[in-house]
Amino acid sequence: MAEAKYDVLGIGNAIFDVLVQTDERFLSLHGMTKGGMMLIDEARAESIYRDMGPAVEMSGGSAANTIVGIANLGARAAYVGKVKDDQIGRLYTHDIRAAQVAFETKPASGGPATGCSYILVTPDGERTMNTYLGAAQELTPDDIDAAQVAASAFVYLEGYLWDPDSAKQAFVKASTIAHASGRQVALTLSDAFCVDRYRDEFLDLMRKGTVDLIFANEAELHSLYQTADFDTALKQLRRDIRLGVVTRSEKGCVVASNDGVIAVPAFPVDTIVDTTGAGDLFAAGFLFGLVRGAGFEAAGRLGALAAAEIIQHIGARPQVSLRELAEKGGLPV
């Protein structure tokens, strides 16, 4: 097998994040379900944007957040996602490349605007997302570069890709090429509502070996197996996938494999400011650990460290070098 050019290639919905701190009143005024992710149209996007206060804006999307975290840790990272050749699309491209991520997906010249997510953060740090997918939905199998996939040790996919049909085909194409090249494929389940929509298809991807590694939080795991009992769901997960990683907020995470279950504690955090990107950055740390051959427990600790950094400030981009934090903590880099 040829040496990998990239450690991790992420494929996801390229979404420009607009983050704003707000209160419960704003959520109820706009009929939002706290803590959820709702797909919205352009008109609703405009009305939310008009009513909200000053915002922090950056390139985002779940898989993109993970890939930026991986680059921040010092690994070689690439990303595939669709933007339009408009002002926000050009901002997106510049922002993600500035984070040392290879981003070569050709922008769309026509069609819907670049996707945006309006992320409302309440005082308890909980985030409520309203996402206009826009150009992100235009991702097609043609945007998957076979040589780039074959040259990536891991391909990382987000569950949100399962919404648009052409993106779904792109997802399967990437997985097929990766496995034919002896590479590994990871999937994050993204959101409990996403799991509700595609439960059977996600289970099928796991059981057929289309994906080798699953990332989920507790809510997504319970939704996947339609049980409130954590141990029952975990037992089923171990039957269905070679490696499953479940994050449990302040309880840390569990890494479930054929060899057993390892529990890894969370990193202590002074103040939770914004949980946006916590799962994304956890995945970044964990994948980085796997790429470095660090073992499941050390990978879990790297994930916990990255998640702890991200929830102590607004936005899903690290504000300090995760690599330096890991070195200080005696973790493998």
Domain count, the chain: 1
Find the mean pLDDT for residues 98-103: 97
Structural tokens at position 139: 């991702």
pLDDT grade for 1, boundaries at 50, 70 and 90: low
Q: Write out 145-158 in H/E/C secondary structure.
A: CHHHHHCEEEEEEE
**Using 50, 70 and 90 to split pLDDT, how confident is the model at 120?**
very high
For residue 276, being part of any structural domain is answered with yes
Using DSSP, state whether 91 is helix, strand or coil: helix
Share of the chain above pLDDT 70, in %: 100
Note whether residue 56 is domain-resident: no
Question: Residue length, the chain?
Answer: 333
Residue 253 lies in a domain: yes
- Overall average pLDDT of the 214-243 stretch: 97
Q: For residue 246, how many C-alpha atoms fall within 13 Å in the half-sphere facing its CB? A: 25
Is the pLDDT at 317 greater than 70? The verdict is yes
Residue 33 domain-assigned?
Answer: no
- List the CATH number of the domain containing 66: 3.40.1190.20
The residues near 115 (Cβ < 8 Å, ≥ 6 apart) are: 13, 14, 15, 16, 61, 83, 131, 132, 133, 134, 135, 136, 137
* 31 has a pLDDT exceeding 90: yes
3-state DSSP assignment of residue 108: strand
**What is the structure's pLDDT at 273?**
87
Domain extent, residue 161, equals 6-14+62-113+134-328
Is 305 part of a structural domain of the chain?
A: yes
Q: Within a domain: residue 70?
A: yes
pTM of the model as a whole: 0.93
Instruction: Look at residue 127 and tell me if it is in a domain.
Output: no
Q: Is residue 21 part of a domain?
A: no
B/e letters for 38-65, b = 16+ CB within 10 Å, e = fewer, are: eebeeebbeebeeebeebbebbbbbbbb
Are 179 and 152 spatial neighbours (Cβ–Cβ below 8 Å)?
Answer: no
What was the pLDDT predicted at 131?
93
CA-based nearest residue to 288, from 136, 125, 88, 71: 71
